[in-house]
Chain A
Amino acid sequence: MTTLPVEPAVVPERLPERVARFRLNRWDSPWLNPKLLTGFSMVMFVVLLGVIGPLFWDVTQARVASAPLNIPPIWVKDPPAIFPDPDPAHPLGTESNGRDILALLMVAAPGSLRVGLIAAGLGMGIGILLGFSAGLIGGWWDALVRTIADAVITIPSLAVLIVISAYVRQIDLNNMALLLALFAWPGPTRLLRAQVLSMRERGYVQMARISGASTFDIMFKEMMPNLLPYLAASFSGNVSANILAATGLEALGLGPTRIPTLGMTIFYSIRAASILRGMWWWWGLPILLLIIIFTGLFLISVGLDEIANPRLRGVQAR
């Protein structure tokens, strides 16, 4: 590194690194990465809120006019006179259209996750198909895939999605995910293509080829297992990007209108000037939930990166 190996100072310098490496080897599996696990539990929290929550809470209160207006959350002491007193019947408060915030979050959060998962899943599928084939087949197909992927990545997708959803007003979560997937594939495609290109020349792949393995076998039996951490890291990053795009569209008032979503809640709260009326629970709680989702997915992605790339673990351990 920066000191020459002959200098005596090297020995104490190198020690912590060796300790760190030793510690790493004691883990049974690199998959037990603390960042990965923390991130995973954060995302699971949101999932459980949506799955188990409705069993204990009346989620029909997420409809308009099912609760009194503007109630602050129960832990607020002495709210300003313009708001009614906190009510244990609505622990997280209510907003100006008479929706119960807790019910709203329970209904909306799984939707956001689902949009992200579907869009990223589709994008990933297309990416695997195109990236693998481009890397393995090469030639004009590779040039075509690469050029189009590069072009699509440069298009400001949110802006184009705004145009599309402004025309197509009635849109449901699934259609929205489809639209998002339109722009979700170039990332995974580029990643896979690059990985396949570098992997194609490695010994074990050459070996498999000489042994007469089919292209399909080489793809899925030889290369895929080595690509899993990359794929997973890219997937979680993609889910997060798609949830962000969906929330952004919804916050502009362009999302599905039939069922509540987190972005839609933010849209209504901004339209009702809730920030300047001090109703922080209206916009703050959906944002908090989204931040939990984003941070969770981010940690998952960083954790998976460290699994895929041991060099990053070394730095982090120092």
Chain B
Amino acid sequence: MGGLTKEYLIKRVAMFLLTVWLGTTLMFIIPRLAPGDPITAMIGRMSAQGARIENSAEIIAAWRARFGLDAPWHVQYLRYLYSLARFEPGYSLAYFPTKVEDMAARSMPWTLGLFGLATLISFILGNTIGALLAWRRTPNLVKALLPASLTFTSIPPFMLGILLIYVFAFGLKWFPFAGAHARGLEPGATWEFIKSVIHHGTLPALAIVVTTMGFWALGMRGMMVTTTGEDYMILAEAKGLRPSRIFWLYGVRNAVLPQVTALALTMSGIAGAAVIVEYIFTYPGMGYLLYQGIVNTDYTLIQGLVYFLIVGVALGVLIIDLLYPLIDPRITYHRK
């Protein structure tokens, strides 16, 4: 403990704010560099889909005024930042009286539960495999079999997801191919509901775990090779400590530190993967909601959801950063 100084805390929180600000600003600026504005684009799409729009010029003008698009850009920008900072991106365009923040709140637990858990499982499994691969005492048979578990490493999660649906949902019919729980089941703390959630979550979770595990294993193997060469490992051997103790507390404990940093760095990638995996599995989380926003050209929904994703990922990174000094004593040690 004690590694968490006030200075470090302020720095990390500032970093969090910078990240969120940068992400939202990119989201604001770049679409405006392109010709046209969202309302015109929306009318264009609606007429392209066959709907004849009467008085489209008036509609455009009215909507532009309604969404404040006729204000100068810096006013728009400040309004935009203000509404997002209060976590109130506003009404959904497609489901009008519903607010984006309410829709996001309903879908967030699914995304957080499924992908938080999947990432955790993948991190633990992958690091254990990687450490075992670099560990001299690992039985040869295990060492020969372990790399097979890394076969799917370079395959993107959503592609494996499609394969899994085809094999286990369409072919073998072991698992459902859509949704988060059986229809008509009241969400609650009943065993039946939990069973259904696990049953529906297995395939999407598998798609994430199997594809990301290898990344952790490869990194861990490299770190573990370095660690096993350290003097304190030899000393631990010489002292006659139990091999499992040396492995976990001397080897893994030290080799895993850079992996935790890597976890913070890959967080944004996991969020991206989650969006598409949810879409493939029609899993009722934020990613699938985002896809519905795309289909309905519901710009406030898309923008709001992506803002929440940015904040969520930045928050996750902030938490890892704040925990890091607690697990790595050297950070305290090196401070003056």
Chain A contact residues, CB within 8 Å of chain B: 1-4, 147-148, 150-160, 162-164, 166-169, 179, 182, 240-241, 244-245, 247-248, 251-254, 266, 270, 275-276, 278, 280, 283-284, 287, 290-291, 294-295, 297-299, 302, 309, 311-312, 314-315
Q: In the bound complex, how far is the Cα of B274 from the Cα of A148, in angstroms?
A: 25
The answer to whether the Cβ of B156 comes within 8 Å of any Cβ in the partner chain is yes
Contact of A169 among B22, B41, B228 (CB under 8 A): B41
Interface string of B12-41 (1 = CB under 8 A from A): 000100110011001100110010001001
Q: Which residues on the B side are within 8 Å of A266 (C-beta)?
A: 162
Could you tell me if B23 and A160 are in contact, using CB atoms closer than 8 angstroms? yes
Residue among A157, A168, A276, A311 making CB contact with B226, cutoff 8 Å:
A311
B268 touches A153 (CB 8 A): yes
Interface band, chain B? 35 or more
Query: If the complex has contacts A2-B228, A297-B154, are A155 and B22 also in contact, measured as CB distance less than 8 A?
Result: yes
Min Cβ gap A91→B in Å is: 21
Say yes or no: A252 contacts B291, CB within 8 Å: yes
Contacts A2-B136, A3-B237; is A158 near B275 (CB within 8 Å)? yes
A-B residue pairs in contact (CB < 8 Å), sample of 16: A2-B237, A3-B237, A154-B267, A155-B19, A155-B22, A156-B309, A157-B268, A159-B310, A162-B275, A163-B31, A167-B31, A252-B276, A275-B170, A280-B166, A287-B159, A315-B134
Residues of B within 8 A of A160 (CB): 23, 26-27, 306, 310
| Interface pair A159/B271, CB less than 8 Å apart | yes
Q: How far is it, in angstroms, between the C-alpha of A14 and the C-alpha of B259 when the chains are bound?
A: 29
Does B317 have its Cβ within 8 Å of any Cβ on chain A?
A: yes
Contact between chains at B303 and A244 (CB < 8 Å):
no
Residue of A nearest to B314 (CB): A154
Flag B304-328 by CB within 8 Å of A: 1 or 0 each: 0110011001100100000000000
What residue in chain A is nearest B151 (Cβ atoms)?
Answer: A295
Interface residues of B (CB under 8 A from A): 15, 18-19, 22-23, 26-27, 30-31, 34, 38, 41, 45, 133-134, 136-137, 153-156, 158-159, 162-163, 165-166, 170, 177, 218, 221-222, 225-226, 228-229, 233-234, 237-238, 264-265, 267-269, 271-272, 275-276, 279-280, 290-291, 293-295, 297, 299, 302-303, 305-306, 309-310, 313-314, 317
Question: In whole Å, how far is B185's beta carbon from the nearest beta carbon of chain A?
Answer: 22
Q: Given the complex, which residues of B lie within 8 Å of A166, measured CB to CB?
A: 293-294, 297, 299, 302
User: Chain A interface mostly helix, strand, loop or mixed?
Assistant: helix
Q: A152-B22, A156-B313, A287-B163 known; 12 other A-B pairs, CB under 8 Å?
A: A1-B234, A151-B18, A154-B264, A155-B310, A155-B314, A159-B272, A159-B309, A166-B293, A166-B299, A167-B38, A248-B275, A315-B133
Select from chain A the residue with minimum beta-carbon distance to B271.
A156
Q: Among the listed A157, A276, A309, A315, which residue makes an inter-chain contact with B272, where contact means beta carbons less than 8 Å apart?
A: A157
A252 and B279 form a contact (CB under 8 A): yes
- Contact of A276 with B177 in the complex, beta carbons under 8 Å: yes
Known pairs A248-B272, A298-B154; A254 contacts B294 (CB<8 A): yes
CB distance from A36 to the nearest CB of B (A): 14
Instruction: Identify which of A151, A155, A254 gathers the most chain B CB atoms within 10 Å of its CB.
Output: A155
Q: Give, as a whole number of angstroms, the nearest-CB distance from A147 to chain B.
A: 7
Q: Chain B residues near A252 (CB, 8 Å)?
A: 275-276, 279, 291, 294
Q: Which residues of A sit under 8 angstroms from B313, Cβ to Cβ?
A: 154-156
Which residues in A have their C-beta under 8 angstroms from that of B265? 153-154
Q: Which residues of A contact B153 (CB under 8 A)?
A: 298
Contacts known (A151-B18, A287-B162, A290-B156); A159 close to B275, Cβ less than 8 A: yes
Residues of A within 8 A of B229 (CB): 1
- B302 cross-chain contacts in A, Cβ below 8 A: 162-163, 166
- B276, A248: Cβ atoms closer than 8 Å: yes
Q: How far is A54 from B158 in the complex, measured between Cα atoms in Å?
A: 29
Query: Which residue of the partner chain, among B163, B264, B272, contacts A156 with CB atoms under 8 Å?
Result: B272
Whole-angstrom CA separation of A278 from B167 in the bound complex: 11
Contact of A151 (CB < 8 Å), options: B22, B272, B290: B22
Complex CA gap A179/B41 in Å reads 19
- A186 to chain B: closest CB distance in Å? 9
CB proximity of B29 to chain A, nearest CB, Å: 10
10 A-B pairs with the lowest CB-CB distances in the bound complex, closest first: A158-B272, A298-B154, A167-B31, A156-B271, A155-B23, A156-B268, A151-B19, A159-B306, A168-B34, A294-B154
Cβ–Cβ < 8 Å partners of A163 in chain B:
27, 31, 302-303, 306
B135 shortest CB reach to chain A, Å? 9
**Max chain B CB contacts within 10 Å: which of A159, A247, A291, A298?**
A159
In the complex, chain B residues whose CB is within 8 Å of the CB of A284: 166
Q: Which of A156, A167, A240, A275 has a CB less than 8 Å from the CB of B34?
A: A167
Could you tell me the distance between the alpha carbons of A245 and B309 in the complex, rounded to whole angstroms? 16
For the complex, give the distance between the alpha carbons of A287 and B30 in Å: 31
Kindly list chain A residues whose C-beta atoms are within 8 Å of the C-beta of B45. Answer: 169
Q: Which residue of B lies closest to A248 (CB)?
A: B276
Q: Check A294 against B156 for contact (C-beta < 8 Å).
A: yes
Q: What is the CA–CA distance of A163 and B27 in the complex, to the nearest angstrom? A: 7
Q: How far is the CA of A270 from the CA of B305 in the complex (A)?
A: 23
Chain B neighbourhood of A241, CB < 8 A: 269
A251 and B276 contact, CB distance less than 8 A: yes
Report how far A179 CA is from B34 CA in the complex, Å: 12
CB-defined contacts of B314 to chain A, threshold 8 Å: 154-155
Residue contact B156 to A248, C-beta cutoff 8 Å:
yes
Point out the residues of chain B lying under 8 angstroms from A247, CB to CB: 156
Contact A4 B306 (CB under 8 A): no
Contact of A309 among B134, B222, B290 (CB under 8 A): B222
CA distance A280 to B167 in the complex (A): 10
Q: How far is the CA of A253 from the CA of B272 in the complex (A)?
A: 15
